[in-house]
Amino acid sequence: MTEHLTVVDHPLVQHKLTIMRDKSTSTKSFRQLLREISLLLAYEVTRELPMTTERIETPLETMDAPVLAGKKLALVSILRAGNGLLDGVLELVPAARVGFVGLYRDERTLQPIQYYFKVPEDLADRLVIALDPMLATGNSSAAAIDLLKEAGATNIRFMCLLAAPEGIARMKEAHPDVPIVTAAVDTKLNEKGYIVPGLGDAGDRMFGTK
Ligand code: URA
């Protein structure tokens, strides 16, 4: 992937995202739509995976057919909202390895605090896709990528649902080598660090905690 930022403007993605933004959308529908959108985003984020060929027998003849090359992908969910993207991506890439990074945002400083880190072995040999629906300040995303790099990852992509210009700039500065795939880039962050117009707190909306 060569672009630092890819906005997936597919009509289905945009339509589903609009329903998710609507505050009257139920937890059940929000979760279902997130799963559906994550499949479509995963299609984009995996578009340039390296390929090789494998010799197979069709019922008619032998052919050298395309297959994915290299080790299985590693999907890393940035807790807790990343889990909402994880299910859909796993449907598309069921053999992927899965890791978790637990970070929460100090509501006063907006800085990320780590509380959990467990990732697959051999990260250096895998394409790592970090998952977090909301790229807001970019502080926790950049911190999560720092941790993945410390664990050996060299080939990382970041998949989100919504991004704020501030978060994109922060990621570009901290991790210019990490392409971002998102469904939309919103206007700005508000004084509490929420993306506007946004969709509110993604974790609360997908888990129904508020
Ligand atoms: N996290 C969220 O869930 N929503 C925002 O708008 C920003 C960060």
Catalytic residue status for 80: no
Residue linked to tokens 């559906």: 36
For 29, left (φ over 0), alpha (ψ -120 to 50), or beta? alpha
Residue whose CA lies nearest to ligand 1 atom number 3 = 201
- Do the Cβ atoms of 141 and 79 come closer than 8 Å? no
Looking at residue 103, its pLDDT comes to 86
- Is the shortest distance between the CB of 34 and ligand 1 below 6 Å? no
Residue-wise pLDDT for 83-142, tens only, equals 999 999 999 999 999 999 998 877 788 778 899 999 999 999 999 999 999 999 999 999
Rounded distance, CA 20 to CA 201, Å?
11
- Is the shortest distance between the CB of 104 and ligand 1 below 6 Å? no
Residue 154 CA to chain centroid, in angstroms?
16
Catalytic residue status for 64: no
Distance 191 CA to ligand 1 centre (A): 12
Distance 122 CA to ligand 1 centre (A): 31
Residue-wise pLDDT for 149-158, tens only, equals 999 999 999 9
Rounded distance, CA 87 to CA 104, Å?
21
Catalytic residue status for 109: yes
Residue 126 sits at φ, ψ, to 5 deg, of: -120, 155
Which residue, 98, 86, 95, 158, is CA-closest to 123?
Answer: 98
| For the chain, domain boundaries | 5-207
Residue-wise pLDDT for 186-208, tens only, equals 999 999 999 999 999 999 999 99
CATH of domain 5-207: 3.40.50.2020
Rounded distance, CA 54 to CA 30, Å?
40
CA neighbours closer than 13 Å in the CB half-sphere of residue 163: 26
Confidence of residue 2 (pLDDT cuts 50, 70, 90): low
- Is the shortest distance between the CB of 130 and ligand 1 below 6 Å? no
Task: For the beta carbon of residue 150, count every other beta carbon within 10 angstroms.
Answer: 10
Catalytic residue status for 22: no
Rounded distance, CA 92 to CA 75, Å?
12
